[in-house]
Amino acid sequence: MLLQKQKTYKKVYDAACERLLSSDIEQQLGNAGLQYKAGAGTFTVTIPFFDETILLTLPQIAFKSEKESNVTLVARIILLHYINTADGRQPAGNIVAYEDIPGCRHYQPVFEKRVTRPLQSAFGRDKYAFLEAGAALGGTKEEYGDASITLYALPRVPVTFILWEGDEEFPPLARALFDPSITGYLPLEDIVVISKLAAARVLKTARKQHMEEDYS
């Protein structure tokens, strides 16, 4: 099953590479808000990706994290899709829930399972750990709910997580909201993926901070 999934991802990746190399690369990089250096038929692209920077070299399509971390196949697909899909539209200036993005309501149960429920379970009674993890990732504190943060997954893809703590009467609740312009930068299926990556980074950072406290 895992092998089949990897084969599927590889096909998606290869298609994304082919699409990028056959496009007007400079136009797409501009639409995506990315800085780059152009050489003799080559491009070195700087991609801010959450709290790290990925360097993409074209036409070789080589990825390198400035943190020396592994750039997974899923991350590579997301980065390529971001460039390929980018239409340069401006932020709408408001935020909407996942299910209110046209075409996404049907996948709401999957989204909750993969993205918001893990956040509820981890931080439903500890908003401070949630905020500290968000701050460590370079997130911006917001004023929604009991605690909220906005992470920039990509230059034009902000993801806002909102947390309401639970009590004796109500269970905890987490929501994820987006600028409506996200559909001009990522395919619909990638919105779940980028949100899962965002939530996973918050959870991993919180666990790391907790371990550091235990050993301090």
Mean pLDDT value of segment 1-6: 74
Same structural domain, 70 and 124: no
Q: Can you give the pLDDT at residue 214? A: 62
Same structural domain, 107 and 194: yes
In the predicted model, is pLDDT for residue 212 greater than 80? no
Q: How far is CA 187 from CA 77, 103, 104, 196, in A?
A: 11, 11, 11, 15
Number of domains in the chain: 2
Last residue of a domain, one of 54, 85, 116: 85
Q: Can you give the pLDDT at residue 213? A: 67
Count of alpha carbons within 13 angstroms of residue 51, beta-carbon side: 17
Cβ(36)–Cβ(46) under 8 Å?
Answer: yes
Q: Can you give the pLDDT at residue 216? A: 53
Same structural domain, 115 and 209: yes
Same structural domain, 27 and 134: no
Same structural domain, 66 and 145: no
Same structural domain, 104 and 210: yes
Averaged pLDDT score across all residues of the chain: 94
For the stretch 11-40, pLDDT in tens is 999 999 999 999 999 999 999 999 999 988
- Within-domain flag for 198: yes
Last residue of a domain, one of 85, 111, 142: 85
Q: How far apart are the first and last CA of the chain?
A: 42
Q: Can you give the pLDDT at residue 5? A: 82
For the stretch 62-100, pLDDT in tens is 999 999 999 999 999 999 999 999 999 998 889 999 999
Last residue of a domain, one of 61, 85, 109: 85
- The boundaries of the domain holding residue 102 are 96-215
- Within-domain flag for 91: no
Same structural domain, 105 and 190: yes
- Within-domain flag for 185: yes
Same structural domain, 77 and 135: no
Same structural domain, 133 and 152: yes
Non-local CB neighbours of 212 within 8 Å, separated by 6+ positions: none
Q: Can you give the pLDDT at residue 183? A: 97
- DSSP annotation of 7 reads H
